[in-house]
Amino acid sequence: MPSPPVSLGSTAGQRRACSSAGFTRCGGTARAASRAPRTRAAAARCAARESQTSPKAHRHPRRQGGDDDIVSDSQQRYILTISCPDRTGIVAAVAGFLADHDAFITESSHFGDARTQRFFMRTVFRIGAATPGLDQFAQRFSRVAERFNMVWGLHDAQRRERVLILVSKLDHCLNDLLYRYRTGDLRVDIPAIVSNHPELEPLAEWHGIPFHHLPITPTTKPQQEAAILALVHDLEIDLVVLARYMQVLTPATCDRLRGRCINIHHSFLPGFKGPRPYHQAHDLGVKLIGATAHYVVADLDAGPIIEQAVERVDHSFGPEEMSRVGRDIENVVLARAVHWHVEHRVLLNNGRTIVFR
């Protein structure tokens, strides 16, 4: 499995951290990588399944990487994320280790939470000619990790995270994400789009992305979610995005996707949970409306918040006008959350997030 929000402090995070490097580390202890390279036969089966499900899916050429994807060995960059008990000497130990291994730090952020006594760090570095191979590099760093009881991940900065988008009938968030994807503003791969309605299939086809129509009824919900999880596995998905997907995921599915499923809720949580939040806001005469992007948990419209934004409204705004303003907010908030997640800028701190913007 790929990397979490980076929920390196969670079970899912520990499984998925460092997937691009081929190993996982937690507290300095090595674990076997949970995602092995796909075989040619498996890749062929997956491609055949996509073409059968959406025969027109590749009519429009999918965006290919530009010059930013062509990186020489001397420019190869990695992202190191760390969470551990706070104490003196962590930054010095990490920086000293990187310097000793001919790695050049290009960006570094850290934060110590006085309330939880946890330390969080994200460091981007460029490897040098004398830097050892990645497996050896990780093995040596595990000694530092053990000393500080770190939960850590090492990620290839050039690798594009694989994103599965779930959507219902409303298209504004999906359309915005696809535009950012095509223009290169959002550096991800989108192997598929899933919907419980067929209306948005033409939009997916235009972008050359396979569309999976998985209708749902109260009696077929378990089978429908099983099909979604099968796609997550078969397509090697790193992140699931609920782009106004108007279905509540079951607790079992939420647990399977913990730390790697982002939802956009059309209100400023924790206020106005549930359906029709703009109507709720209008009835109470609020002067600010907003949107919230958060990681999905079993509780409805809960989960660690990644990003929020608001806009001012007044007495002249009806529910429809509030909805129009809200759609613009939702687009921006969701795009920011996805962008920060795939760049490994988000770390979990119990029920909260640390976001290194």
Are 92 and 317 spatial neighbours (Cβ–Cβ below 8 Å)? no
Task: Please tell me which residue, 3 or 351, carries the higher pLDDT value.
Answer: 351
State the first-to-last Cα distance of the chain, in angstroms, to the nearest integer: 25
Alpha-helical (H) ranges within the chain are 11-16, 40-53, 90-100, 134-148, 172-183, 201-206, 221-234, 251-256, 277-284, 319-342
What confidence category does residue 298 fall into, taking pLDDT thresholds of 50, 70 and 90?
Answer: very high
Residue type (1 letter), 160: R
Question: Alpha-carbon distance 155 to 289, whole Å?
Answer: 36
Ramachandran angles phi, psi of 346, nearest 5° = -115, 125
Q: Is the predicted pLDDT of residue 53 greater than 50, yes or no?
A: no
Which residues partner with 31 through β-bridges?
A: 24
Q: What does CATH list as the number for 161-355? A: 3.40.50.170
Per-residue b or e along 238-272, where b marks 16 or more CB atoms closer than 10 Å to that residue's CB = bbbbbbbbeeebeeebbebbbbbbbbbbbbbbeeb
**Catalytic annotation, pick one of 100, 113, 301, 314:** 301
- Is 301 a residue of the active site? yes
Strand order in the sheet with 24-26: 29-31, 24-26, 151-156, 77-85, 118-127, 103-113
What CATH code is assigned to 11-35+72-156?
3.30.70.260
CA proximity to 2, closest of 131, 207, 191, 213: 191
Q: How does strand 352-355 pair with strand 346-349?
A: antiparallel
Query: For the chain, where do the domains classified as CATH 3.40.50.170 start and end?
Result: 161-355
| pTM, 2 dp | 0.80
Q: Please give the full DSSP string across 39-95, using - where no structure is assigned.
A: PHHHHHHHHHHHHHH-TTTTSSPPPPP-GGG---GGG-EEEEEEEEE--TTHHHHHH
Does the structure show a pLDDT above 50 at 20? no
pLDDT (0 to 100) of residue 323: 84
Distance CA 15, CA 10 (A): 9
Q: What is the pLDDT of residue 320?
A: 84
CB atoms near residue 77 (< 10 Å):
17
210: left (phi over 0), alpha (psi -120 to 50) or beta: beta
- State the span(s) of the chain assigned CATH 3.30.70.260: 11-35+72-156
Please report which confidence band the pLDDT of residue 12 belongs to, taking 50, 70 and 90 as the band edges: very low
Nearest to 307 by CA among 332, 333, 326: 333
Cα angle for residues 126, 262, 211 (degrees, 5° grid): 100
What DSSP designation does 111 have? E
Q: What is the pLDDT of residue 277?
A: 66
Strands 161-167 and 118-127: unpaired
Q: How confident is the model at residue 272 (pLDDT cuts 50, 70, 90)?
A: low
C-alpha 343/C-alpha 186 separation (Å) is 10
Tokens 């929020």 belong to 308
Residue 96 tokens, joined: 């000293």
**Cα 84 to the center of its chain, rounded Å:** 22
314 by Cβ neighbours in 10 Å (0-12 / 13-18 / 19+) ranks as exposed
Per-residue pLDDT reduced to its tens digit, 162-199: 999 999 999 999 999 999 999 999 999 999 999 999 99
Average pLDDT over residues 262-275: 72
The answer to whether the CB of 20 falls within 8 A of the CB of 155 is: yes
pLDDT: which is higher, 348 or 323: 348
Least confident span in 49-58, 147-156, 255-264? 49-58
Q: What is the pLDDT of residue 314?
A: 86
Q: What's residue 34's pLDDT?
A: 36
